[in-house]
Structure formats: C-alpha cells, structure tokens
Amino acid sequence: MKRARVKSVTAALALVLVVLVAALALAAPRPSLANGSAAAQGTPAATQTARSNPANGPAGAFLSIHPQAGFPLDPFLVTVQGGGAVKASTLAPDCAGYVAAGPTVTVDYQGSVDLLRVFFYSDGDPTLVVRTPDGKYLCNDNTNAALLDPTIEVAKPAKGRYDVWIGSAQAKDLIPGFLVFTGHGNVYASNLALEDLVKRPALVEVLTHRERLTNAAARINEALAAVKSVEKLAPGTGSLTAQVTARGELPAPELAAGDALCGGLISVAPNFAFDWSGEAKAIGAMF
C-alpha cells in the first residue's frame, strides 16, 4: 500500500514539473518582428565586387562572341554601353573606374595575329578591363593625354576566352559606344573613322503621295509664318529688286503643292516676298 502511494506521488510531481517547464517556455521573451527588422537593417552590406567565371564555365556576359578563326571583319565592332557601379579595382588593384558585376563582352578568340588591339570608341570617359585566357587582368583608362577612350594591346594573343569590361570614370555613368577588336597595326582609337567603313551616302526618305502633300501644306504655312516684310507691287510701280543669297537643304518638291513641278534645294523661309494688287497678263521673276 505504501509503495503504490509513493508511485502516485512521484507521478504527480513529474506532472507538475512538466507543466512548470511549459509555462516558463511560454513566458520567455521572444524577439519581435520589429527587432528582427532592426537587426537586419543594422547589418553592414557586403562590398560589391566584379566577377569572372572560370575559363571553362559560362561567362555570364552581356554578349558572347564565338568567331571560328579570328574576327570575320577587321576592325570588328560591337555596339555596347559601358559603365557600372562596381569598382574595377575589385578585379585588379591597378584597374580604374566603375564596371558592371559581370563582363560586358566575352570573346572565344581562335585567331592568330602578332598584336591584338582592343579599344572603346565613344564620346565619353570610359575605362577598359580585359581578362586574358591565362587569368591576367589588363587595364587602361585613357589611350593618351589627349584621348579619353581606352586602349589595350595583347602581343601574341593566346587562343581562348577573353572577358572584357567596359567601365566609366564615374560610378553609374552609362557610356554608349563601339568596342573595337583589330589585328591591323594601323587601326587605332585615334584614327578610326566610322564613315570610312561604309561608303554608301544617306538617301532621301521616300514618302507616299499623301504624305508629301501633307508635309508640303505644313511647310507652306511655315514659310508664310517666316515672312518678316512684304514689298508692294502694282501695275505702273515698276520692278522690285532685292539682294539675296541662294541656298537651301530642302528638296523643292517637298514644298510644292498641286500640279507645280519644282526642282533643286530651297529653304523653307522665303528669300523675298511681295504683295501684288491689280491686273496683268503675266508677272515675271528673275535671279
């Protein structure tokens, strides 16, 4: 009888201890959502760095080029936009400017030249970083003191993947331009002329007949509005003379309306204006 009573007391004490532990756990202070947010906000942000994946892995570049043997055209131009928010010095200590986290262009180069020249052609202040297949980083800010466009030269370039970052002198400054690859020794950032690469002249836009009439009517109104003074001409007043200069960039048919057939180049604003009143068989104008 005594042993049974002891077992009952022991079980009751164990039950009390379990309840007490549960109560203490519920009463313990827990971090609120606000405390968690404050802790997250107080954690310092990691320093952002540029990256280049291993040579055998995916490049992760904005644009990848895979020429079969060298570049099919030389110079080879790629239209891209330079700039970024990451310090280029995270790639190599000597690199200047700010770049994107990943390469701008990746090239799987399989050519054979004595010297590979890479430069960026723009009207801004770009920087340039090239990672060679052996993992070396080459950097340039300005080609020379007079040219802000950067140039990098690789002697006896090895075959393999080249990662190229186009940066900017100022953080987050976007600089559009042309990334140029060339094996020609006489092609430089200083003497490249884009108009020499394509000789075709600009052509006049071909408009429909309705568009031509609409534009002509609008230009006639523009021409009338451009008149500053008007000479009076009537029968018996003699002739009117004025000194003018012939020039213009607008094809005359673009100003003519109706069945008039005009040729040459003119300006929208009239060189001379007169106001006729009276009757005559004909009025002549000579230049």
96, 98, 102, 108: CA torsion to nearest 10:
-40
Q: How far apart are CA 250 and CA 268, in angstroms?
A: 7
CATH code that applies to domain 63-196: 2.60.120.380
156, 159, 160, 161: CA torsion to nearest 10:
40
Q: Taking the model in full, what pTM does it have? A: 0.56
In whole angstroms, what separates CA 229 from the centre of its chain? Answer: 47
Average pLDDT, integer, range 86-93: 95
Q: What is the pLDDT of residue 11?
A: 42
In whole angstroms, what separates CA 52 from the centre of its chain? Answer: 22
Average pLDDT, integer, range 149-154: 97
The CA–CA distances, whole Å, from 188 to 9, 160, 183 equal 98, 24, 10
Domains of the chain, residue spans: 63-196, 209-276
Token digits of residue 232? 């009076």
Confidence band, pLDDT 50/70/90 cuts, at residue 51: low
Q: Which of 113, 116, 144 shows the shortest CA–CA distance to 130? A: 116
Average pLDDT, the chain: 77
